[in-house]
Structure 1
Amino acid sequence: MKTKYLISSLASILAFSSASAAGLPPAVTGKAQEIIAMPDGGWLTLDKQGLRLLDTQGKERSKVSLRAKHLDARTHADGMLAVFTDADTQKTHAYVADQKTGQLRLQASMASPDFSLESMCLYRDAQQLDHVFLIGKEGLSEQWVMHNGSAHLVRKLALPPHSKHCRVDDQSQTLYLSVPDSGVWAFTAEAETAAKLKPVAMAAPFGKLHGGVTAISALPGGVAVLDASGKKLHFYRQKDGQYLLSEQIMNLPYSAANIHVNASGNKLDFLLQDEQAKTWRASSVAWKQPAASEIAVIEPTVQTDTVARHGDAADDPAIWVHPQDARLSRVLGTNKKQGLLVYDMQGKQTQLLESGRLNNVDVRQNIKWGQQSFDIAMATQRDENSLVLYVINDQGQVTEAARFPTKLDKIYGFCLYQPRTGGLEAFVNDKDGTYQQFRITHNEQGFSGSLVRSFKLASQPEGCVADDKTDRLFMGEEKRGIWVVSARADQPADLQMVMPVGKQLVADVEGLAIYFGQQKNYLLVSSQGDNSYLVLEAQAPYRLRGKFRVGMNLAKGIDGTSETDGLDVSAVNFGGEFAQGMLVVQDGYKRLPDGTQNFKYIPWFAIARAFKLE
């Protein structure tokens, strides 16, 4: 299918005559290599002498003098944020063009990178943080974020070499790159996602771009591409991860050298540089914008030390509460390439137990067997297809105490259950969907486990959480959704769907945890497919109360989270910002700067405030 959002008549779409350019004063359109319209009707222009702020008539109000190139801009509370590069030093500068004062005010600067700079562009994320992409000639590139007058390196990138232009569609979080020999490519602008490069518009013979690309401009939900001749303008719309070429290919009556587009409602306002006349021409075109996706962004306030293994290593956390002083509590986390990690409430690692390839971990406290009481942690060990049991003392020191073999072929997810009748039980699953329920006991000979129930889901599960107060077990089936079943071993495993995978819950379904509030209990779920988290009421009909992402906390130098495997939550008063409890999530990509994976702590009050939770 081809999109049909553009007006059918080319004559009515683009009237690039002298009349169409009449709204641009000659002083604006003359020698400017790049031009951007200001919200008040003024102009930002870039030429070989620098960046200029002009009024509506083209009169210069302010200027930054240097040999500049690569202008990009976003709206700002005072007018416009303009970012450009010093061609001599390769330093990139961000200035605020103040509409009221008519001044260009330095906002931040980025040092010259250790590579030859080929292009630069801006990106404004869902938190309204402004990022800068520095695109290197040989494919070495960087992403920076600006905050309070300074810039911070977010990540290093490998992008197509010799990318001549870059532009970002903020709404779809897509970075577009033009490469002379191959065409236009799309890359993930959001740092907290897996790096993915997709072809958009390929040069002939692989696509319809004859000779390559002259310039590009990001559109809401797509990209405009000016071909090598400068006389044909192609429009591509993003849909379901694919790029569809519009039926319209705009044939220009002149050769254009550059393009800037501003989206307004369901209209695009164009500025195209006439290469022969050395001027800029303006016009408009209809363009239906995709609906904006609104989702809350909540900041973490603590992050743990990073794990000692690269790649997909950190997986699942569990919270242990100190019996006398909750501020001395611990967070346990698995490193599936090494063992069990223990962190304090400030995120500092206090222990490493090299127990092998652990996947999921869970904790229960004050478990009584006879006259003895224990705080217990258990985890799945993937090399042995076994369960590892740990004892936690009153100071939060963790010690391995036992291992129980299972007959599972590919042991995977896990959670603990403390029946109201006492004791301790464990649910463990296999990648084939099999669930096994074990009863844990303790006597003079030590700990032991016995199988008391088995059942099976249709496909691969992982995360699960038991509601000890109501004897229910919530399970995540990665590709299908969330199920609930009786946790009691003497009851049949009658599965009931809580929420299927769909628009809100995006596969894979990963970590699950329950927040036990004073008035209501909430089920927290990692919706890994769109890097978000769902808050559902933990009682039928399991109403969805909110959906959020974890963003950057630049004040504390903490990056956001993505591709979260495991999570845990507690309603305990840990003091300070965690007085109402906290959520702990695994982070799939450590940024700001790049590093190995870790865990992030999020205050519960921020989640409760965002969704007006009881």
Structure 2
Amino acid sequence: MKKVKLILPVLVATCLLQSCGNNQPKEDIAAKPEVTTGNLADAITPLKPVIITDTVEFDTDDPAIWLHPTDKAQSLIIGTDKETGGGIYAFDLNGKIVKKLTGLQRPNNIDIAYGLSLNSKPTDIAVFTERKANKIRIVSLPDLAFIDNGGIEIFKGEKGEGFNEGMGIALYTSPDKKIYAIVGRKNGPADGYLWQYELDGKAGTVTANVVRKFGKYSAKKEIEAIAVDNENGFVYYSDEQSGIRKYYADPAKGNEELAFFGTTGFTDDHEGISIYKTGDSTGYILVSNQQDNSFMVYPREGSGNIHQHNLITKIQMSTIESDGSDVTNISLNNQFPNGLFVAMSNGKVFHYYDWRDLEKRILKK
């Protein structure tokens, strides 16, 4: 979770070391730019966004990208405004607010899935945690209409302080098209910190059933950032001030921790996670190094072993203390031909980046 105080990025020389979704429709393989030799300026100069969005009322936290089914230029960024009285906002690709839902009880993180069967009609959805209401909320897309009959109570029966305050969330779509919400919270036990819910819309409103409780927790701070790799079937989450943990997303595959990486190199908090796909199983995992105003980049396919994720590089960003991010490799328009990376920044805004600019930094490592 970001600090409230606004700070400016500090430009420091950094040694870049190389070791020796979002839930959305299957993405096209994006073309890679020519590899060139990097220099120190790339390491210390923050990458500039193409667009900075309109401001929200209180405090941006987490974005998700919704891809329009027929006209990708009409795709939306759905982001949360994290405060009591806050809400969720829909931004167009120019960063302009086109719709919002406000008056909510501290909405936190958000994710998107496609084609939930709602009264037998395939419906795109956004699901977010409403922290102070102890609920998850579901809206249809792109209209932002509630379809959850007032919300779904989460972490029922939990008694510890913060144990039922939902924070992080990610949606997993299984090969048989079931949609699950994997939910984190402000505080919880050392094991079984995450609860996974199967979503059901057959009756015309969405309900949810708990299918498993899993995931280790260091108790150093909290777990807010969660991301699912639908194609590979993995879920990643940031155990703040500790590292990134990896599990199977399919509850039938068990609760074994598959990897624990990113345990060094972070200034303070591990935060937002997003996954850029360059192929069926290849690409990059990007994790916010929050107080350093940078993103750490790891190989999606692993470093020789699919469950070993060694650092590729670090990218200095213009975002300030970024909590959340999302990325797509789908060509959206002329500004984002190889996809868009969106990240929250202090100042009540989200930043849009041309993926080509990030990939140049990655390939210049």
TM beyond 0.5: yes
Which of 350, 361, 385 is the matching residue for 2:110? 361
Deviation at 1:292, TM superposition (A): 11
Q: Which moved more, 1:291-300 or 1:476-485?
A: 291-300
Structure 1 residue 507 and structure 2 residue 275: aligned? Answer: no
2:3 paired residue number: none
1:105 paired residue number: none
1:494 paired residue number: 256
Percent of residue pairs identical: 26
**Contact 1:466/1:487 (8 A) holds in 2:** yes
How well do the aligned residues superpose, as a CA RMSD in angstroms?
2.4
Deviations 1:237-267 (A, max 9, x none): xxxxxxxxxxxxxxxxxxxxxxxxxxxxxxx
Structure 1 residue 352 and structure 2 residue 110: aligned? Answer: no
Which of 52, 65, 71 is the matching residue for 1:303? 52
Change (3 A) 1:578 1:382: same
2:145 paired residue number: 399
**Structure 2 residue matching 1:427: 3-state secondary structure:** strand
1:545 paired residue number: 312
Matches within 5 A, 1:196-211: none
Deviation at 1:609, TM superposition (A): 1.5
The count of corresponding residues between Structure 1 and Structure 2 is 307
1:439 paired residue number: 198
**Contact 2:105/2:133 (8 A) holds in 1:** no
Query: Given residue 216 of structure 2, which amino acid in structure 1 is its aligned partner?
Result: L
Deviation at 1:529, TM superposition (A): 2.8
Deviation at 1:492, TM superposition (A): 2.2
Deviation at 1:349, TM superposition (A): 0.4
Which of 139, 150, 172 is the matching residue for 1:417? 172
2:185 paired residue number: 430
1:333 paired residue number: 79
Deviations 1:112-158 (A, max 9, x none): xxxxxxxxxxxxxxxxxxxxxxxxxxxxxxxxxxxxxxxxxxxxxxx
**Contact 1:296/1:547 (8 A) holds in 2:** no
Deviation at 1:293, TM superposition (A): 11
**Structure 1 residue matching 2:356: 3-state secondary structure:** helix
Structure 1: how far apart are the matches of 2:244 and 2:45?
A: 22
Deviation at 1:329, TM superposition (A): 0.7
**Contact 2:247/2:259 (8 A) holds in 1:** no
Structure 1 residue 574 and structure 2 residue 332: aligned? Answer: yes
Deviation at 1:421, TM superposition (A): 1.6
Deviation at 1:297, TM superposition (A): 2.9
1:448 paired residue number: 207
**Contact 1:528/1:564 (8 A) holds in 2:** yes
**Structure 2 residue matching 1:327: 3-state secondary structure:** helix
2:363 paired residue number: 612
Structure 1: how far apart are the matches of 2:329 and 2:101?
A: 27
Deviation at 1:368, TM superposition (A): 3.9
**Contact 1:363/1:376 (8 A) holds in 2:** yes
Structure 2: how far apart are the matches of 1:512 and 1:455?
A: 19
Structure 2: how far apart are the matches of 1:462 and 1:475?
A: 8
Structure 1: how far apart are the matches of 2:71 and 2:333?
A: 9
Structure 1 residue 600 and structure 2 residue 351: aligned? Answer: yes
Deviation at 1:431, TM superposition (A): 2.1
**Contact 2:118/2:205 (8 A) holds in 1:** no
Deviations 1:455-484 (A, max 9, x none): 242222110111111111111100110010
Deviation at 1:366, TM superposition (A): 2.5
Structure 2: how far apart are the matches of 1:536 and 1:387?
A: 30
2:244 paired residue number: 482
**Contact 2:233/2:249 (8 A) holds in 1:** yes
Greater RCO, CA 8 A, separation 6+: 2
Matches within 5 A, 1:109-508: 191-192=8-9, 294-295=43-44, 297-309=46-58, 313-337=59-83, 338-354=86-102, 355-368=104-117, 371-392=120-141, 396-402=142-148, 403-406=151-154, 407=156, 408-433=163-188, 434-458=193-217, 459=219, 460-503=222-265, 505-508=266-269
Structure 1: how far apart are the matches of 2:362 and 2:314?
A: 9
Structure 1: how far apart are the matches of 2:125 and 2:53?
A: 22
**Structure 2 residue matching 1:347: 3-state secondary structure:** coil
Structure 1: how far apart are the matches of 2:312 and 2:355?
A: 14
Deviation at 1:352, TM superposition (A): 1.3
Query: Given residue 356 of structure 1, which amino acid in structure 2 is its aligned partner?
Result: Q
1:518 paired residue number: 279
Structure 1: how far apart are the matches of 2:46 and 2:165?
A: 36
**Contact 2:8/2:320 (8 A) holds in 1:** no
Structure 1: how far apart are the matches of 2:329 and 2:116?
A: 19
Which has the larger Rg?
Answer: 1
Query: Given residue 543 of structure 1, which amino acid in structure 2 is its aligned partner?
Result: N
Matches within 5 A, 1:35-114: none
**Contact 2:119/2:204 (8 A) holds in 1:** no
**Contact 2:61/2:344 (8 A) holds in 1:** yes
Deviation at 1:496, TM superposition (A): 3.2
Structure 1: how far apart are the matches of 2:262 and 2:309?
A: 12
Structure 2: how far apart are the matches of 1:563 and 1:451?
A: 33
Q: Which moved more, 1:369-378 or 1:332-341?
A: 369-378
**Contact 1:437/1:453 (8 A) holds in 2:** yes
**Structure 1 residue matching 2:147: 3-state secondary structure:** strand
Structure 1: how far apart are the matches of 2:277 and 2:41?
A: 33
**Contact 1:501/1:507 (8 A) holds in 2:** no
1:285 paired residue number: none
Deviation at 1:534, TM superposition (A): 1.4
Deviations 1:1-50 (A, max 9, x none): xxxxxxxxxxxxxxxxxxxxxxxxxxxxxxxxxxxxxxxxxxxxxxxxxx
Deviation at 1:304, TM superposition (A): 0.6
Deviation at 1:192, TM superposition (A): 3.8
**Contact 1:568/1:585 (8 A) holds in 2:** yes
